[in-house]
Amino acid sequence: MKNHCALKYLLLLPLICVVLLFACAEEDDDDEEKDCEPRPWDCHETNDYTVGTLSIRLTINAENPAPTIYIYRGTVESGTLHKTITGYSSSEWSGTENLGDYSAKVDYTVGSVTVTAIDGDSISTYSEQYCEGPCYYLENASLDLTFDYDAFKEYLDGTDEECFIATAAFGSALAEEVAALRRFRDSVLRKSVPGRAFIGLYYRYSPPAARFIGRHETLRGAARAVLVPVAAAVSHPRIFLGGIAACAGCIILVIGLSQHRRRRA
């Protein structure tokens, strides 16, 4: 009789294990449901986004009333030009584009200096996990191409200590003549030993002269009268040399005619 009871309990043991396993599984499911969050009202259940919004903020002012926006797929340096928006006259631009990486640039003119603002972002999707499954969301791209003109002008006027006399004469490091002399210094004078020696002497002795010239309008006018043709010559050397040759030719012609009349007389 004892053996019969023991056999009965052995047969019930597997059934008890199965019941315990199901009970544990239900408890785990209940715990998972407690840990997760229900889907929000704006849940998008499938990842079928193909387009999004590309927004650009840029600077509009008197010097750049209608700039040109260059939009690239990828980066400005290695991507491909995707779209050019010419003459845009608002501080905000937005358009619908396919998913992917985008960059944009705008060239700003400040006096005689051109400054390029560049920014990049990506139109993409991302997902969040909830009790009922993942929800997919669209992430739009927003680019900032704004430029601080006042800070840039203060930077140039306050730190450009390389064209002292020209800056004092024209009143700003942004003047076209100052920019022309600066380009001549960088592209010609710096590339030769005599040119670098001249630059060194100029940096050493010109600041006192520039401060003195800057305090007297008459001296500033005289300095401008000297520097304007110099700046024109270094900006357009062929035209300058052609003018010199033409003047020399005229002088030679006048001298020749004068001598011819004297001989006839």
Q: What angle do CA 164, 167, 171 make, to 5 degrees?
A: 145
Residue-wise pLDDT for 25-48, tens only, equals 444 454 445 578 999 998 999 988
Residue-wise pLDDT for 116-161, tens only, equals 889 999 999 999 999 999 999 999 999 999 887 766 766 665 544 4
So what's the pLDDT on residue 175? 76
Report the distance separating Cα 87 and Cα 67, nearest Å.
5
Residue-wise pLDDT for 43-52, tens only, equals 999 988 999 9
For the ranges 72-81, 140-149, 164-173, 253-262, which has the lowest average pLDDT?
A: 253-262
Please state, rounded to an integer, the average pLDDT across all residues of the chain: 78
Answer for the pair 94, 54: CB distance below 8 angstroms, yes or no.
yes
Could you tell me the pLDDT band of residue 93, with boundaries at 50, 70 and 90?
Answer: very high
State the average pLDDT over residues 55-60. Answer: 92
Check residues 235 and 248 and name the one with the higher pLDDT: 235
pLDDT > 70? residue 178: yes
- pTM above threshold 0.75: no
Contacts of 59 (CB under 8 A, 6+ apart): 67, 91, 106, 108, 117, 145, 146, 147, 149
